[in-house]
Structure 1
Amino acid sequence: MASGRRKKSKEEPAVKQEDKKEDKPVKRRRSADGDRQFRDDKRQRTSPENDRRIRQKIERPGVPAPTRTSAFVVPDRPSPPFREDDKDGHFVYELGDNLTSRYKILSKMGEGTFGRVLECWDRKNKEYVAIKIVRNVQKYRDAAMIELEVLNTLEKNDAEGRWHCVNLLEWFDYRGHVCMAFEKLGLSLYDFLRRNGYTPFHVNLVRSFGKQLLESVAYLHDLQLIHTDLKPENILLASLEYSKHSEMPTTRGAKRMPDNSDIKVIDFGSATFDDQYHSSIVSTRHYRAPEVILGLGWTFPCDIWSVGCILVELATGDALFQTHENLEHLAMMEAVLDKIPEHLAAAANAAARKYFVTRRDKLVLNWPGGAASRRSVRAVAKLSPLKTLMSSLGDKSLRPHLDALLDLLMQMLRYDPKERITAHEALRHDFFRMGAAATPTSNGRVRPEKKETSATAEPAEAAVLGLGGSGSGKGSSQVTEGASKPGTTKVEEPVPPEDAE
């Protein structure tokens, strides 16, 4: 077989043999959050009278019509024999199976609380897709229908796809499983950080990611939607391509930078309209706002807090609040930001009031007296104020940009949600109006050492599309031996399997 770039094939790609190996657990810098009961809350819909309170310009069309599988029939490619689901209600499959006559299963991309995501070949449109297959359990089916309603609302109000939300292609019900076909995207920002040794993103990329993320959040909030689960795992790069750079101000050695900074927000399974029932706990622990922990109720500002935590993580390479316990979490907030305002402590619900004590007629956090362990005390003591943390980043040429970012973060991470900056206000901040920061360049341009795809070093981890857990699996791209330019790796076009017509 000749090396080099292949001509585009309209045939089916081959099932990837390496994906038949048993998946190995991926080591994570952050362990999965155990406090995720908000995922299991069955959301309650409000009456039509309450729905009419939403602004008239917003279209809430409900659940989109399912794909009619009879519209695309290939008699010679039937679905496999019926298999029982596993004990947890997960769909059981084999690589190479048909998922209806339209889709061929190529690889497993991820697995989580809600179900599994499979990379499939769409025979109708001749493209790779990521299909989220929800567990055949009623509460997860109910949650999937809510997610479909949200996705339909997002699409109907943004036909041009301007606001960086993942695109739902089709959905169908298959053997008791709600299946959603999404466009196939690149790595999540978390996975890109992990593969890069948790090296911080350059401030120019932080600005680009932050602007797009806030545009998406502003769009959601205009639709009266709260995402409630924003985190780096739920922000995906649109492309797998990246370059290696050896002289970036915030990196050590040759590190990766994405060639395309376009992103998409995913996982709308926990998104909630503001006039609907609000569960008591939302957000993954590291990105959870103080009003949620204190039981004060939550609305749009909880998303802004999450965005602030995300931007710190992108700029530093580390999650800001690495904890799994409420009191320790609040103590970390005080170590990084400031004391929790007394009026918020006084308004906390009964469960959260136990974290505070009265000293000199003031309600203060019971820390370190209430700490669960010495390890917890040490973890909080190691933290630096956010201003100190940001001042340690980059060189002098980046200082104006990092100072502007710090000012934005301080407004996003205000304890009182009423005082927190909104998404639209944040987009008008000076940080997003500044020009690009300087980088070590030749004639003002960054010198990449090598241009690659994420499939070069290891198989690409694809988006798990909001499965309620971290996914790991094999990617879709195969790499040719040759390339059209020296130092550049090209992605191989789909390879037809043995049973291709």
Structure 2
Amino acid sequence: MLPLRLLTPRRTLFSFAKKSLWQLPSNSGPPIPQQELVDEEACSDYGSASFYPAKPGEVLAKKFQLLVKIGWGSQSTVWLARDVSSNNADDACHEKEIENHITGQQSEHRGRVILRTCLDDFEVTGPKGKHMCLVYEPMREPLWILQRRFVNRKLPLPIAKAYIYFLLVGLDHLHSECKVVHTDLKLGNILMSFENESTLTNFIKRQQPMQCKVDNESGRTIYRCHIDFGALAGREIKNMIPQIADFGLATRLDRPSTLNGMVGEQLGTYPIQPDYYRAPEVILGCGWDFKADIWNFGVLLWNILGNKELFQQVRDTNGQYDAKSHLAEMIALLGPPPGELLAKSKAMSEHNWPQPVMNETGALCNNALEFFGGPFFNAEGKFCYNELIPSRSLEDTIPFLEEKDREAFLTFIRDMLIWLPEKRKTARELIDHPFLKLRG
């Protein structure tokens, strides 16, 4: 079986299953009240998006029969499907192009298996246009769901260290061999493999009809996700490995690109990354490269190890991203930024992007300082919002670690959370850090 991702006129995902014995639910589950928001309906831009009206039993591209909806996002729904033929399809979107580039690398790098790329793709036509469909090997669940299976939603430290090691190996391949920046590292984009083949088979056999409702405006039937693959076989957790997924926002730095804006051939300029994980060079408009992923990954370790966010004040009372508060918290944890980073920010702000970009407030912006609400520092390099700097230190943020592990972790994290991107360690260098070594 494979996951199929049904994208809006942007994209769609499928997880694929080959075995014909897996059957569809016989009918729809209990109806969902019309006023209840279901899955993708909760996205802020749902009304402006055009999701494909997928239904269980539907066969797409004369090849994939939809079985069960297993995921959703702001741009796509994800369905488990079975392969009923053997047709091939043409490449067609940025995500597919990036994944083709990754799979096309002639490399024996061990990190290749940590990057989840699609096996096939095709287009379907819905009421509001074409939808790109990408086909993948099925995975058990994202890392945030796996965490819920443990006490206090925390992975045991030896398991977490193993996963961090695997992910760094994957990032090393992505950066050093593929010359790609992921730009969107988060728990939802880290997927766990099945611990054994029977788990997926049993999931399909016990499926009940999916609950659904009909959207009055579009007439589209919306199904509730079935994402519970059952209890984890604890003795076989050693067989599970994480994979980095979703390259829809990734950027190649091996050649000029118009997708995210480039300076020369090795530096991106347009805003990237989820709010909590955004690197300082992105906010300050200094240009970014692979080291933005390293910052992102460093911040993500608080989620992996402690099931918590490192940064606590990245959004204002209206829920909008607040760059000045985010920078203030960075200053609290890391000290003030070096003058050379601020000088680069000032120099880059004098050059507009090739195309303006609209920010969250609806303003059309020509550079990063406009986009994020700068400037943040005065002519002397002093922060303009000292009242926002909290009384926190990096040492205060890791109560989830035992005392004996804290010093090693802090040295590990300080190789990633550094103002100057060029001083951050690479993924390959981080793999050898003592923190990741398991005690005998």
TM-score class normalised by the smaller sequence: 0.5 to 0.7
Q: Which residue of the partner structure matches residue 336 of structure 2?
A: 339
1-side partners of 2:30 and 2:69: how far apart?
A: 9
Contact 2:310 2:397 survives alignment (8 Å): no
Whole-angstrom CA distance in 1 between matches of 2:106 and 2:37:
38
Q: Give the number of equivalent residue pairs.
A: 330
Distance 1:87 1:393, change over 3 A: closer
Shift of 1:224: 1.2
* Structure 1 residue aligned with 2:184: 229
Map of 1:14 onto structure 2: 24
Provide, for residues 190-239 of structure 1, a one-character-per-residue CA deviation record: whole Å limited to 9, x for no partner. Answer: 23335658633222122111111111111011221111111111111112
Q: CA deviation at 1:299?
A: 0.5
Matches within 5 A, 1:129-278: 145-157=93-105, 162-163=110-111, 164-175=114-125, 176-193=130-147, 199-222=153-176, 223-239=178-194, 259-260=237-238, 261-274=240-253, 275-277=255-257, 278=260
Instruction: Tell me if structure 1 keeps the 8 A contact 2:303–2:309.
Output: yes
Q: 1:193 to 1:333 in 2, by over 3 A?
A: farther
1:287 maps to what in 2?
277
Structure 2 residue runs without a partner (length 5+): 1-17, 200-231, 262-269, 315-320, 350-368
90, 95, 100: which is aligned to 2:51? 90
- Which whole-Å CA distance do the structure 2 matches of 1:311 and 1:230 have between them? 11
Gap change, CA 1:11 and 1:332, over 3 Å in 2:
same
Q: CA deviation at 1:348?
A: 2.0
Query: What is aligned with 1:300?
Result: 290
The separation in 2 between residues aligned to 1:416 and 1:16, in whole angstroms, is: 58
| Correspondence list, 1:380-419, <5 A | 381=390, 384-390=392-398, 392-396=399-403, 399=404, 401-419=405-423
Q: TM-score by structure 1 length? A: 0.59
Tell me by how many angstroms 1:186 deviates. 1.7
| Cα 1:297–1:311 shift into 2, 3 Å | same
**C-alpha contact (below 8 Å) 1:196/1:256 kept by paired residues:** no
Give the Å deviation of 1:291: 0.2
Find 1:325's aligned residue among 303, 322, 326. 322
Deviation of the 1:418 alpha carbon: 1.0
The answer as to whether partners of 1:408 and 1:426 remain within 8 angstroms in 2 is yes
Alignment match, 1:83: none
One-letter identity of the residue aligned with 2:104: K
Which blocks of at least 5 consecutive residues in structure 1 are unaligned? 1-7, 37-85, 126-140, 243-254, 370-376, 438-501
Report what 2:202 is aligned to. none
> Could you say what the CA RMSD is over the residues aligned between the two structures, in angstroms?
3.5
Separation of aligned partners in 1, 2:299 and 2:141: 19
Which of 415, 435, 439 is matched with 2:438 structurally?
435
Q: Deviations over 1:341-365 (max 9, x none)?
A: 233223324426521236xxx4222
- Structure-2 change in CA distance of 1:319 and 1:18 (3 Å): farther
Highest CA radius of gyration, 1 or 2?
Answer: 1
* Partner SS, residue 236 of structure 1: strand
Shift of 1:292: 0.1
Q: Residue 288 of structure 2: SS of its match in structure 1?
A: coil
Which structure shows the bigger proportion of residues in helix conformation?
A: 2
Q: Distance in 2 between matches of 1:411 and 1:265?
A: 21
User: Normalized against structure 2, the TM-score is what?
Assistant: 0.66
The one-letter amino acid paired with 2:99 is L
Quote the Cα distance in structure 1 between the aligned partners of 2:120 and 2:108: 17
**CA shift at 1:106, angstroms?**
1.6
Match of 2:378 in 1: 357
C-alpha distance in 2 between matches for 1:205 and 1:26? 33
Q: Is the 8 A contact 1:238 1:264 kept in 2?
A: yes
- 1:16 & 1:234 partners in 2: Cα distance? 32
Higher relative contact order (CA 8 A, sep 6+): 1
Identity among equivalent pairs (%): 25
Q: Distance in 1 between matches of 2:26 and 2:429?
A: 47
Q: Deviations over 1:325-349 (max 9, x none)?
A: 1001111112222222233223324
How far did 1:240 drift? 6.6
Q: Distance in 2 between matches of 1:184 and 1:287?
A: 27
> What displacement does 1:16 show?
7.3
Cα deviation code 1:99-149 (max 9, x no counterpart): 233222122223333322222122348xxxxxxxxxxxxxxx99x622112
